[in-house]
Each structure stands twice: as C-alpha cells, then as structure tokens.
Amino acid sequence: MVSGSERYLKVSGWSSEFESVDKALMHYKRRVRSEKTRRNLLDFLKALCRFVNKNPDELIKLDVKEASKLVQAFLDGLAEKDRSVRYVNVALAYIKAFFRVNGFKNDREIKVERYYQPSRYRKRTEYVPTSDEIERMAYTARSKRNKAVILMLYTTGLRGSTLRALTVADVVEELKSGNNVVKIPVYAEMKERVPEACKGGIPYYSFVSKEAAEALREYLDERMERYGDLTDEEPLLCSEATNVPVEVRRKTPIMRKSLQQTVKRAARKAGLKNWKDVTPHCLRKAFESALRNNRLDVKEQEFLMGHILPGSQDAYYDSTKVEDLRRKYAQAVFFPQRPYSSEDLRRKQVLDVVKLLGFPEDRIKRVEEALAKYETVDEAMEDIRKLSLEGYKLSRNANSDPKKVVDEDKLERYLTEGWDVQTVLPSGRIIIKKAA
C-alpha cells in the first residue's frame, strides 16, 4: 500500500520524480537498503516540505543561510509539540543527509543546532513488571489472543514489530511437533511485512515457553473454529478490529497501537500501580532479566535477544545447534513455582463454584479479573456477588441441567451411576453432568 509520504514525494520504491529525493534514496539504498530508513527519510522530508511550503527540489535551491533558518524553525516546532529530544535529533540527521547528498557540503553545509541529549536519556518512564505481575497480566487478558501476546512477548523477548510480523507458517510445524518449547525464527524477509521487524537485518531465533506455547495453541484453535483452516501466510496474531470485514481482519497483523494498548490494559486489569508505564518493550526487558537470573551464558543471552555477536560467533548458533540451545532455554524458569497459599486455594474454590453454577464464559472471566485485582478473596467478594446476581439471571434454568463438582477418587462411582465428565477444573476437581 502506498503511503501518504510516497504520494506526496512522488516515490515508487527507491526512486522519485523529484531529483533531490531520488539522490537521497539512492544514497540510503547503497548504504543500508532498509525499508524503515526509507520510510523515515520520506516522513521527515514530507513534514519539512509542508512546514516551509516548498517541494524538495525547491528546498535545495535555497542559500545555506535561508535553508539553515527554515530547518532550525522546523526542528524547534517539533520540540514545541512535545516530541522527544531523540526524535528531534533523528529528524535532523535525516534532513542533513538529504541536503548533504544534494551538494550542501563543507562551506555550504547547513548550520543547525542539535538538541542536547544526556546519556541514558528517556522521555517516558518505564516499569518492568515482575514475573508474578506478568502472570497476572496474562491471567486477566481479555481474550486468548491477548493472553498469547503477553506470554509470547515475555518468554521470547521479541520486539513488538517482530512479533507482529510472524506468520502461521513460522511456527505451525513446531506447534504440531508437540514441543513444549517452540522455536521462533527471525529473518530479514520479515521487513517486507513490518519494516522494523528484523533490526539490522540480523537473523536469529528465540523460543516460547511451555505456558506461551499452550496459550498460542488455544488461540489458534479458537481462530480455526471462528474462521476455518488457517493459511500459512496469515499473521500469527491477527487483528480483532470489528470495523473491517472478517476476511480482511484475519489477514491483518495486530497493529502497533493495538499491541501497546493490549499490554497496558492487561497491566491495569492485573492491578499494577505503574500500568501506564508498562509497554511491550518492558516485557522484552523482563525476558532479559529472566535469562540473566537463570544464568544462561552471556553469548546465549545476547543471541536470544537478537544482538550482534562479536567476530564470527553468530555461526555457533546455526541450525545444527538449535536443539542444544532449546535444551538450555527449557531449563529457564519464567514463572517460579510457588506453593499454593490459602488465598490461592480459596480463589480456585470460588472458580469451581461459579463454573458449577453454569456461569457463561464472559462472567467467569470477570470473576477471574476480580480475583486477580484484589489481594484477598474477601476484598473481591463484593464484585463477585454482583456478578453472581447477573449469573443467576443468565443461568436460571441450571437446575434442569444438574451438575456436580467431585474429587478424582469419587469419579468412578459417579460414572457407573450415569454421570458424564464435563471438564477438569484448575484445582484438579472435576465437573460432572447427569447423562440424559
């Protein structure tokens, strides 16, 4: 799809009808040939042209003093719009490169002040959640897709753009293999789907944990029930926007803004005080901490993060070493096992009861959210009582569909009396139903 910047600057691929833009594109094509770089150049150049009300070829006909004055005013305008220092300085770098390749060198170089950017500068604060908090985020996610998103971001360490670029074909064979630890490939061709997907064009692979793999299988099973068989080229995590046709929705990857909202919404529902400061990148940082805490070799950590390894060490992690690295990854613990507290057991008992009462799935999810939101079950009970009233209204005919919750040691007796198994609850108890 042609972007607004491409139309404005009359660009097709790596060429433009404007001679000045064509030179700049050729410059970057020779050096990096990065789709993200191309897009950034066009976006900043379009913004500058609209700001000064001149086309690119008119810009390079200005004298140095006038060009410098206009560019400085443009950058100051960005800063006044509350853009970060880094954003303003990146814009300056692209604009200076545009002028430079069009003859503004040495004595003719434009003179524009760069904004001061201290080391470790970050405009927005970040909060990296703990493993317990991430577990709660996944537990309170609104849908199976969102649960898979949270767990995959955390246990793969993938950048959000890379996660968005994954297709069904990238993981389907691994999922079918039944592996608890599923390999996730990252490769340069992903950039054709999402320009930022493979940073630096560095191919590597990561893995998803058992918990994330199970969540992903559940989500894909739900997709197949809803849409039918999945095709290889479909995005692994598709859009859930209801304002577009189903056929378009299933072929559109989850959008960047939607990914960010999914993470923040999950953090808020999980009761994190700093939920506004939780981003997809924070889960990547949590992944890095998990690797470090599990004492993986530094080079293995760097590889799984998609960082460049010095020298020729990347070759060590070629396809012949996948199983060795998979084995080491499988030993990492992302969610430390904790003995169940009395409150944990009470939460499971509450869920057992609401499922026995025949609550619909959306009400059960809201009960789960209430239990996750509060420290104790007693604090959550006011919310749950309100849901109970709604639940009774919706399941008033439950008596005509008798059910019981039984322990496993009593199951055999009930089966001989004509009861059928409905489901196994998280607590290990079993819901049974009287056969017709």
Average pLDDT over every residue of 145-165: 95
More confident residue, 278 or 33: 278
Radius of gyration of the chain (CA): 27
Q: How far apart are CA 239 and CA 235, in angstroms?
A: 9
State the residue for tokens 């061709």: 189
Average pLDDT over every residue of 364-384: 79
Instruction: Give the C-alpha distances (Å, rounded to integers) separating 31 from 26, 28, 37, 348, 365.
Output: 9, 5, 10, 58, 51
Highest mean pLDDT out of 28-37, 118-127, 316-325, 390-399: 28-37
Among residues of the chain, what percentage have pLDDT more than 70?
A: 84
Phi-psi region of 126 (alpha: psi -120 to 50; beta: other; left: phi over 0): beta
Cβ count within 10 A of residue 318 = 8
Q: What's the pLDDT band for 392 if we cut at 50, 70, 90?
A: very low
**Residue 360: predicted pLDDT:** 77
Q: Which phi and psi angles does 253 have, rounded to 5°?
A: -65, 155
State the residue for tokens 């503004």: 104
Average pLDDT over every residue of 17-46: 91
Average pLDDT of the chain? 84
**Residue 121: predicted pLDDT:** 55
Q: Which domains does the chain carry?
A: 4-108 (no CATH), 131-330 (1.10.443.10), 342-434 (no CATH)
State the residue for tokens 């690295």: 325
Q: How far apart are CA 296 and CA 205, in angstroms?
A: 16
For residues 55 and 49, is the Cβ–Cβ distance under 8 A? yes
Name residue 430's beta-bridge partners.
406, 424
Tell me which amino acid residue 287 is: F
Cβ count within 10 A of residue 320 = 8
Q: How far apart are CA 93 and CA 95, in angstroms?
A: 6
Q: How far apart are CA 252 and CA 237, in angstroms?
A: 9
* pTM for the structure as a whole: 0.64
Q: How far apart are CA 169 and CA 384, in angstroms?
A: 42
**Residue 185: predicted pLDDT:** 92
**Residue 401: predicted pLDDT:** 54
pLDDT at 65 over 80: yes
Residue among 307, 258, 262 nearest 283 (CA):
262
CA dihedral 116, 119, 121, 126 (to 10 degrees): 180
Q: How far apart are CA 188 and CA 350, in angstroms?
A: 48
State the residue for tokens 């220092």: 85
Average pLDDT over every residue of 238-259: 88
Q: What's the pLDDT band for 371 if we cut at 50, 70, 90?
A: confident
**Residue 393: predicted pLDDT:** 43
- Sequence-distant (≥ 6) Cβ neighbours of residue 375 within 8 angstroms: 343
Strands 419-424 and 430-434: antiparallel
Strands 403-406 and 419-424: unpaired
Q: How far apart are CA 404 and CA 429, in angstroms?
A: 10
Three-class DSSP category at 130: coil
pLDDT tens, residue by residue, 259-282:
999 999 999 888 888 899 999 999
pLDDT tens, residue by residue, 312-348:
555 556 666 788 888 889 888 898 865 556 567 677 7
pLDDT at 87 over 80: yes
Q: How far apart are CA 307 and CA 284, in angstroms?
A: 13
Residue among 207, 214, 213 nearest 287 (CA):
207
Alpha helices in 166-204 (DSSP H): 168-176
**Residue 278: predicted pLDDT:** 94
